[in-house]
Structure 1
Amino acid sequence: MPTVKPPKDAPEPTPQPEEPATPAAEPEAEAAVIEPTGPEPGVYEFTYGADCVYPHVPLTCRAARPERPATEDEPGEPEVKATVVDWPFGPPDDGRWTKTRKKPNQRADNEPPLSSEE
């Protein structure tokens, strides 16, 4: 087959650069940059209307209830303050918690009691 020469006034073909082989990204490096999602750590008050149990903590959270005086038919109930917990990794992201400046009044139910011997 005869070779065809390009005309003299034709532009020079530009050499195509070779694409360098890109190394595969390390999966460990990508996993280390996970940003936390959900509420930030801090003290939160339980503001849901009914009590709740979180089995994975475990923590029983109480909703705030005003004092109910006794009547002839029913005994009264004392005031119940809402559960306030310091969440070191943020509270559950279920819409039941509101950030507050109040002091925590409860710890996880499975924490050992404070002892005076420490």
Structure 2
Amino acid sequence: MSSSTKSWLAAAAGDLLLILVFAAIGRDAHARGDIISGAFITAWPFLVGALVGWLVPRVWRAPFSVWPSGVAVWLGAVIVGMLLRAATGQTVVLPFIIVALISLGVFLLGFRALYALIRRAAAKRQHRA
């Protein structure tokens, strides 16, 4: 497996995991039982949205970049996710949209920013050596 394939698979796995964490935290905060399978039920619209965010701008070319890749995945997850929730009769209210926008932004952009910081620090150490 090439390093570019490993890179986009790792980024996609990170997005998947963080969207599931977002859904599980939300279910737990609202005392909705069955957190594990319920998280998948809650997360699927956001996962589909993230997939759209991956496909439209071809995120796999630079999967760990905050801009434009991370922003595309984040906004895809929120916008398409909310549209799918509305289309399937799930709750879509302004406070939830705001929480999703902020939480998924912190998760999906944050892990990419952290990755960039770690890579820069490693490159500086290697350059000094």
Q: Same fold (TM over 0.5)?
A: no
Q: What TM-score, normalized to structure 2? A: 0.19
Which structure has the larger Rg over C-alpha atoms? 1
Higher helix share goes to which structure? 2
Which structure shows the higher strand fraction? 1
